[in-house]
């Protein structure tokens, strides 16, 4: 991960290969240089102010401009547009990511970013963004020859106002960046590298790095004893040991009811016997993004030592067609006793989550949030712009929506009316695992609700938002970090 540093040094004293300066768009007028950057402009003999006066750079969203500087001191300056003022935390996050990606293209290796005039919220966004933009996953690549290689961005120094609010914002931004990189790394890893045991290792890593964390792990036999026939039917097609991993963070009062985060962890989803078509199937390595989000959030929460109790639960396995795989029409029994007719083996996420939601009850949760790449249908409903939010408690759904909005992971509610329940009634069992094409994301949520026993609950469908199949400009193709930000922001809201 990008190493992040805070500095209160005077700009004139800074030595850097790249100084990043964030600017708002002018209102039909030249962009105004942030006050703090004046001395830099002087040191560069007015190169910055001339650039702005010529309107070479207008401060628009995602806009960048490089001004070459001196041999020492500030070697280059990078102007990055924030769009129109006032700029949100999300706008700074986006600009931070743009800056880091531009720095990577230049091959600078390190950068300094000016945030002396930014609010605490904006600093949080900036740091998360720099880390998002600088993040890479190169474990499986042969490095290019030294002479052709551009240095990746490995260090970023944030120039901050010297006060407690900006110090706290820096710490928060760094912790969020660490959690997002945990989630993105798990997402990017292919299915033969990120296996259920990788979640076990990740959980142990969190416990080793931070205090007040306890990990427990269940395998096939343990789940059998708990009667988790729903989760296990998905895992019966693979020889790989399925894992139910629990990460308990106890930062709050003893005995205080925890927030429980639950994640779908399909290390790969072929569809099983109801096999998916070959084109684009490789993207199903991301079907563990809900579980990756839970792990990432636990990393951030434990790193910040938030004064709250949080339990993360992930269910990890791989959905495979095989001689032992579950078949369409099979009936299985979940750990709450309900029977399920498996109509389509590709609707496996809800089968895994069913037993996890029953399991969550034993922690006496204050609230349970689950995240899952649950349905392709959510992309038809909301595209790639919003997380699908579901739950019977409108105020709680709105609390999650607010958390997502603040951190730049927008979500939007869809209805969970009783009328839709007709679609998941079975002729032979208590439930069927698919409700047909209409309202596919809603019937999936209603299926989950059958396993929610009395506690407040919201389901997040992140199938359209946890990863991107295209380069978004500010973010590369691949894992986005969603829903780490939403989880963390929700928990932080409750911890206040
Ligand atoms: N993991 C998929 C959902 C998915 C699809 C995520 C596309 C990301 C992109 C899930 O397990 C699935 O296959 N759902 C089925 C449900 C259907 C069989 C009722 C789907 O969405 O087609
Ligand atoms: Mn599936
Ligand atoms: Zn799936």
What are 98-118's pLDDT values in tens digits?
999 999 999 999 999 999 999
Q: Which atom of ligand 1 is nearest to the CA of 434?
A: 19
Is the pLDDT at 72 greater than 90? The verdict is: no
Ligand 1 pocket test, pick from 346, 379, 382, 424 with the greatest ligand atom count within 8 Å of Cβ, gives: 346
Distance 349 CA to ligand 1 centre (A): 8
Residue 167 annotated among the catalytic residues of the structure: no
Q: Is 463 in the pocket of ligand 1 (CB under 6 A)?
A: yes
CA atoms within 13 A on the CB side of 282: 6
Cα(25) to centroid(ligand 2), Å: 44
pLDDT reading at 12 higher than 90 = no
Ligand 1 atom showing the smallest separation from residue 349 Cα: 11
Q: What pLDDT, in 10s, does the model give residues 184-214?
A: 999 999 999 999 999 999 999 999 999 999 9
Mean pLDDT for 79-104 is: 97
Q: Name the residue ranges covered by the structural domains of the chain.
A: 3-162, 191-495
- Name which residue leads in pLDDT, 28 or 208: 208
CA of 375 to the centre of ligand 2 (A): 8
Which residue has better confidence, 179 or 211?
Answer: 179
> CA angle, 27 as apex, 25 and 31 as ends, to 5°?
45
Residue 1: band (very low, low, confident or very high) from pLDDT cuts 50, 70, 90: confident
Q: Which residues contact 136 (CB under 8 A, 6 or more apart)?
A: 152
CATH 3.40.630.10 for domain 191-495: yes
Neighbours of 394 (CB within 10 A): 10
Q: What does the pLDDT look like over 368-405, one tens digit per residue?
A: 999 999 999 999 999 999 999 999 999 999 999 999 99
Rounded to whole angstroms, the Cα distance separating 67 from 456 reads 53
- State the closest ligand 1 atom to the C-alpha of 435, by its place in the atom list counted from 1: 19
Residue 128 contacts by C-beta under 8 Å, 6 or more apart in sequence?
93, 96, 173, 176, 177, 180, 407, 485
Q: Which ligand is nearest to the CA of 266?
A: 3
Mean predicted confidence (pLDDT) in 424-451: 98
Angstrom distance (rounded) from CA 242 to CA 316:
6
248: exposed, middle or buried (Cβ count in 10 Å: 0-12, 13-18, 19+): buried
Q: Phi and psi dihedrals of 56, rounded to 5?
A: -65, -30
In this prediction, residues 88-106 reach a mean pLDDT of: 97
Determine the average pLDDT of the residues in 220-247.
98
Overall CATH class of domain 3-162 = alpha beta
Contact (Cβ atoms closer than 8 angstroms) between residue 96 and residue 90 = no
Atom of ligand 1 nearest to the CA of 440: 19
Ligand 1 atom closest to the Cα of residue 269 is 1
Is 350 annotated as catalytic? Answer: yes
- If one counts every other C-beta atom within 10 angstroms of the C-beta of residue 260, the result is 29
149-177 core/surface letters (b: 16 or more CB in 10 A; e: else): eeebbeebbbbbbeeeebbebbbbbbbbb
Q: Tell me which of 276, 333, 338, 421 is the catalytic residue.
A: 276
The verdict on the CB of residue 202 being under 6 Å from ligand 1 is no
Cα(249) to centroid of ligand 3, in Å? 28
In the DSSP assignment, the letter for residue 342 is -
| Cβ of residue 376 lying under 6 Å from some atom of ligand 1 | yes
Neighbour-count burial for 296-319, b at 16+ CB within 10 Å, e otherwise = bbbbbbbbbebebbbbbbbbbbbb
Q: Burial, 211: exposed, middle or buried (Cβ in 10 Å; 0-12, 13-18, 19+)?
A: exposed
Ligand 3 centre and the CA of 235: distance in Å?
12
3-162 and 191-495 share one fold: no
Contact predicate 134/156, CB 8 Å: yes
> Is 248 near ligand 1, meaning CB less than 6 Å away?
no
Q: Tell me the per-residue pLDDT of 148-176, one tens digit each, with 9 for 90 and over.
A: 889 999 999 999 999 999 999 999 999 99
Measure the CA–CA gap between 125 and 95, rounded to whole angstroms.
9
Q: Which of 351, 375, 469 to mutate to test the pocket of ligand 1 (most atoms within 8 A of CB)?
A: 375
In the chain, % of residues over pLDDT 70: 100
46 lines ligand 1 (CB under 6 A): no
* Catalytic site residue from 93, 350, 432, 492: 350
Question: Which pLDDT band, with edges at 50, 70 and 90, does 71 fall under?
Answer: confident
Phi then psi for 400, rounded to 5 degrees? -70, -40
Q: Round the average pLDDT of the chain to a whole number and report it.
A: 97
Ligand 3 center from residue 266 Cα (angstroms): 6
For ligand 1, is residue 349 a contact (CB within 6 Å)? yes
* Measured distance CA(38)–CA(436) in Å, rounded: 62
- In this prediction, residue 463 has a pLDDT band, given cuts at 50, 70 and 90, of very high
Say if strands 331-333 and 411-413 run parallel, antiparallel, or are unpaired.
unpaired
Sheet holding 64-68, edge to edge: 3-7, 151-160, 108-115, 19-23, 76-81, 64-68
């Amino acid at each position: 991960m990008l190493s992040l540093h805070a500095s209160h040094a005077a700009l004139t004293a800074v030595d850097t290969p790249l100084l990043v300066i964030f600017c708002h768009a002018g209102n039909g007028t030249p962009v105004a240089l942030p006050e703090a950057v004046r001395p830099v402009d002087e040191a560069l003999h007015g190169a910055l102010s001339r650039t702005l006066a010529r309107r070479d750079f207008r401060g628009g969203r995602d806009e960048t401009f490089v001004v070459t500087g001196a041999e020492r001191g500030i070697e280059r300056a990078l102007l990055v547009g924030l769009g129109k003022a006032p700029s949100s935390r999300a706008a700074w996050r986006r600009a931070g990511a743009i800056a880091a990606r531009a720095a990577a293209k230049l091959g600078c290796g390190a950068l300094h970013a000016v945030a002396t005039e930014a609010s605490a919220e904006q600093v949080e966004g900036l740091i998360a963004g720099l880390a998002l933009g600088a993040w890479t996953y190169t474990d499986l690549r042969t490095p290019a020859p030294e002479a052709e290689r551009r240095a990746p961005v490995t260090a970023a120094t944030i120039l901050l106002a010297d006060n407690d609010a900006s110090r706290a914002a820096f710490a928060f931004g760094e912790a969020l960046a660490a959690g997002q990189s945990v989630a993105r790394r798990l997402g990017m890893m292919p299915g033969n590298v990120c296996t259920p045991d990788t979640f076990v290792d990740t959980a142990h890593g969190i416990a080793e790095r931070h205090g007040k964390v306890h990990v427990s792990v269940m395998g096939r036999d343990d789940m059998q004893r708990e009667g988790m026939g729903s989760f296990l039917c998905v895992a019966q097609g693979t020889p790989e040991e399925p894992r139910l991993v629990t990460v308990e963070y106890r930062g709050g009062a003893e005995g205080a009811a925890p927030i429980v985060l639950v994640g779908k962890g399909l290390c790969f989803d072929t569809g099983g016997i109801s096999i998916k078509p070959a084109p684009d199937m490789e993207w199903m390595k991301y079907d563990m993004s809900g579980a990756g989000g839970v792990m990432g959030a636990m990393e951030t929460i434990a790193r910040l030592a938030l004064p709250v109790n949080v339990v993360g639960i992930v269910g990890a396995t791989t959905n495979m067609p095989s001689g032992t795989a579950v078949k369409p029409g099979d009936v299985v029994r979940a750990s709450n006793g309900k029977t399920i007719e498996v109509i389509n083996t590709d609707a496996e996420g809800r089968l895994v989550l069913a037993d996890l939601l029953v399991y969550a009850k034993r922690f006496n949760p204050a609230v349970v949030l689950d995240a899952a790449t649950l349905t392709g249908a959510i992309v038809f409903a909301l595209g790639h712009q919003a997380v699908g939010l579901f739950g019977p408690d409108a105020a709680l759904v709105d609390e999650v929506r607010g958390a997502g909005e603040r951190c730049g992971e927008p979500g939007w509610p869809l209805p969970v009316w009783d009328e839709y329940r007709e679609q998941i009634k079975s002729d032979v069992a208590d439930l069927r695992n698919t409700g047909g094409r209409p309202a596919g994301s809603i019937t999936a949520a209603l299926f989950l609700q059958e396993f929610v026993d009395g506690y407040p609950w919201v389901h997040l469908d992140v199938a359209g938002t946890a990863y991107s199949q295209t380069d978004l400009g500010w973010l590369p193709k691949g894992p986005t970090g969603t829903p780490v930000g939403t989880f963390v922001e929700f928990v932080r809201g409750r911890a206040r």
